[in-house]
Structure 1
Amino acid sequence: MNNLKTVSNEANTQSTRTSDKTENGTPIIMPGKETDKDLFLKMLVAQMSNQDPFNPQDPTQYVTQLAQFNSLEQMMNLNDGMEYLMGMTNGLLVNSAMSTATSLIGKKVEAYAPIEEPDGESSEGDSSEDSDKKTLTGVVEGVHMKDGIVYMDVRIDETKELKSIEYAALIKVSDNNTNTEK
């Protein structure tokens, strides 16, 4: 019974191995699957070892390919490093904005009013003339983050309505009890 299980396991393992490789043993890379740097080197070695002895390739082609591969590898490493650095920087900026916005709780602020979209949504808008934008004043009662953007919950002076305003729309800050600007 154990021998039968061993034979069937070996057959399953062998069929799995052969389905991932060609009849020559070359790995099959499926579309969309990630390939690694070693694949290029394996292909280059296979190309060198299987070349026609009566019509060998020019060695400068190999040197050129290796130089291109080296450049590609360095660009990939640089790209990975930049992505990591951007992620760290974005995290620091969001944390800093959240910390600063939190320190504004209880303070009177002036900020650009969100532009009302026809569908009822609001956005900060990016018009080129800041003087055309409407401003709101009120007291910050809280802060929150949504989709990586820091918002201040501001009680508007005119309407006493609580509005969420992007921290980036902030113009100036003053103490709630006094009119001194900070």
Structure 2
Amino acid sequence: MTKIDPSLYLSNQQNQNVPSPELGKDEFLKILMTQLQNQDPTNPMDDREFISQMATFSSLEQMMNMTQSIDTLVQSQLVSPVIKYSHMIGKEVTYQAYDEESGEKTSIETGTVVAVSQKDGWAILELENGEKVYADAILKVNDPSAAADEEDGNADPDSTEGSE
């Protein structure tokens, strides 16, 4: 017969309460209840002070809920491939084209991104020419508006050449 190691018994486990550096709503309520239970009956807590503490508790709870909502929003945006690649709209991309029937590489082509979508968690760039290209298949990204600004001499708005 096998024997159970006595160190694994729940009664032998140390029950340590690790203090948290943050004061949450549960701790705030405990402090408030202790304060109410231990107040002097001949000199009860001032109504304004009690209302102030309840307002503080309410504000604390709302801030905690807002923080959680913002964290959820940020995490969802970091995960979304559409948001991650939305800055590519208007950019000129170079990509490897494939023959749809054979699946073989045909040529390297260029197109302007007009939309971003996703399929199965992958970002798909939709191009002006109707092609749809996975974002990880892009070989080069070019900003045509930056190239036009350089040709017009507007690349550096602080430049003083020709203004004298």
Fold-level similarity (TM above 0.5): no
TM bin, normalised by shorter chain, reads: 0.3 to 0.5
